[in-house]
Amino acid sequence: MRKFSIEKGIVLPLDRANVDTDYIIPKQFLKSIRRTGFGVNLFDEHRYLDKGQPDADNSQRLLNSNFVLNQPRYRGASVLLARDNFGCGSSREHAPWALEDYGFRALLAPSFADIFSNNCFKNGLLPIVLDREVISGLFDAVETNEGYELEVNLFEQSIIKPDGSLISFEVDEFNKHCLLNGLDDIALTLEDAGRISAFEARWSKQTPWNFNASELG
């Protein structure tokens, strides 16, 4: 998992509440569990004018020029601005995979679905909850200022606006630690690899039948 410390990038506004995980990555793409390659199908049903299929040549598909992701002013965006209840619906981990693979690192919204939020933290994305008034103000700023950028600082738990003013945000200390150090569940477990090995060695002597039937003889 990629570490997250500071991310400065263009903000993409997705002005829609209750964006569910099927909106983020449609169900036909859930056949793969490889974690990568989903970025080209992010928001697929709204991004393209035809129905996408796994392993299709997306370079030949017709883009929906009216969809915000396809507008030139937001090209290369790494901060996603959204409305209430972002990531609701199913618990598919493919949703944060697609967002991260596209290039997003930070998500700003008044609220996130709990499972989606947890999946984001486990996949290198930082979901930040801000007051609705703050989110609305950011939507206004993005609309009126092309190339609007924000700097998200996880160390300081702050967002720096172009004028230098700060927006503070809260984040769970455990999730903050994991993001700063790039630790997913597997990496966290491996931090205790020595203790785990010592326990297994000790336990195998006490209960050899749990490890190798040949040791019973």
Contacts within 8 Å (CB) and 24+ apart, 59-65: none
Instruction: Name the β-bridge partners of 127.
Output: 107
pLDDT over 50 at 85, yes or no: yes
Residue carrying the six token digits 């003013």: 165
Q: What is the pLDDT of residues 153-177, one digit of tens each?
A: 999 999 999 999 999 999 999 999 9
The DSSP-derived string for 53-109 is -TT--GGGSPB-TTSGGGSGGGTT--EEE--TTBTBS---THHHHHHHHHT--EEEE
Going from the N-terminus, what domains does the chain have, and what CATH number goes with each?
6-183 (3.20.19.10), 184-217 (no CATH)
pLDDT over 70 at 33, yes or no: yes
Which range (27-41, 97-111, 188-202) has the least confidence?
A: 188-202
Read off the tokens for 130.
């801000």
The answer for 76, left when phi > 0, alpha when psi is -120 to 50, beta otherwise, is left
What does the pLDDT read at residue 55? 83
Length of the chain: 217
CA 67 – CA 49 distance, rounded (Å): 10
Q: Are 100 and 124 in contact (CB under 8 A)?
A: yes
CA 69 – CA 89 distance, rounded (Å): 21
pLDDT, average across residues 181-205: 73
